Amino acid sequence: MIRVIGVEKRYGKFQALHKLDLEVRAGEVFGFLGPNGAGKTTTIRMLSGVLVPTAGRIEIAGVDLQQDPVGSKRVVGYIPDRPYLYDKLTAREFMRFVGGMYGVPADQIESRTARLLAEHDLSHRADELIEAYSHGMKQRLVLSAALLHEPRVLIVDEPMVGLDPHGARRIKDRFRELADEGRTVFLSTHSLDVAQEVCDRVGILFGGRLVAMGTMDELIGEKGQDLEQVFLTITEEESAAKGVPMTGPQGLEGSG
């Protein structure tokens, strides 16, 4: 469903992402992990079409992002780490706005909005201004909007920030439901327990390079007792080998 072929990203002389080859299947929740500055957010933004690769090619659901950027956005739902909402709109108005941008027919916007808001427990607040919503409600509304055009791939950057345990559980369950429907969820997160719980496979990025990838059983069997230990072991080994300092407490906080 997602194919990343020899993708690189440079900003002047700085190479944020070295040659990356990656394939993520339909029906899979894929976790993308790494310490601060590893290149995760850069990769996410290229997958979503916000940034253009310096080299290489990205295909999503068979659509080449550079050859058909509009077509690629029709098959992708994207939730950035800091999504923007129009606080003076109601949830229903916001969904109509998003549906119009994606060219969803008006009657389908209404029916899909009703279904998605119900699935995410927002129906009873659909006609209230978004400014009155809690953080968790806003996160569920962003997810609803990202799914409105029925994308085949959902790309999410740090979905659990600020959520209480009930909100986090609801979002995690939703990701698994989407994968069970045959869609692909590409998830960048610093929450290693979330990745271990919901992801089928994970890739670990360090210094702009993919340094490990596999299922939980494969990675944990090789390196430790749980994903946190695996992550710390791999990134500390890479840091020592390359002489690259870790940023933040073990590289677990801040942007990617």
Which carries the bigger pLDDT value, residue 6 or residue 163? 6
What is the reported pLDDT for 163?
A: 74
Average pLDDT over residues 190-196: 86
Does residue 250 register a pLDDT over 60? no
Task: Give a yes or no: residue 167 inside a domain.
Answer: yes
| DSSP tag of 196 | H
Average pLDDT over residues 131-156: 94
Range in 58-67, 117-126, 162-171 the model is least confident about: 162-171
Task: Give a yes or no: residue 239 inside a domain.
Answer: yes
Does residue 48 register a pLDDT over 70? yes
Task: Give a yes or no: residue 148 inside a domain.
Answer: no
Strand-pairing partners, residue 214, are 202
Element at 65 (helix H, strand E) = none
Task: Give a yes or no: residue 127 inside a domain.
Answer: no
User: Which candidate, 55, 237, 150, places its Cα nearest to that of 246?
Assistant: 237
All residues at 6 or more sequence positions from 170 whose CB lies less than 8 Å from its CB, including other chains: 120, 121, 136, 140
Task: Give a yes or no: residue 18 inside a domain.
Answer: no
Report the domain count for the chain: 1
Domain with 217, as residue range(s), is 24-54+71-75+153-256
Does residue 246 register a pLDDT over 90? no
pLDDT band at 253 (very low <50, low <70, confident <90, very high): very low
Task: Give a yes or no: residue 98 inside a domain.
Answer: no
pLDDT in tens, 86-121: 999 999 999 999 999 999 999 999 999 999 999 999
Task: Give a yes or no: residue 147 inside a domain.
Answer: no
Mean pLDDT of the chain: 89
Average pLDDT over residues 180-205: 92
Task: Give a yes or no: residue 4 inside a domain.
Answer: no
What is the reported pLDDT for 248?
A: 42
Give the predicted TM-score (pTM) of the model: 0.88
* CATH number, position 183: 3.40.50.300
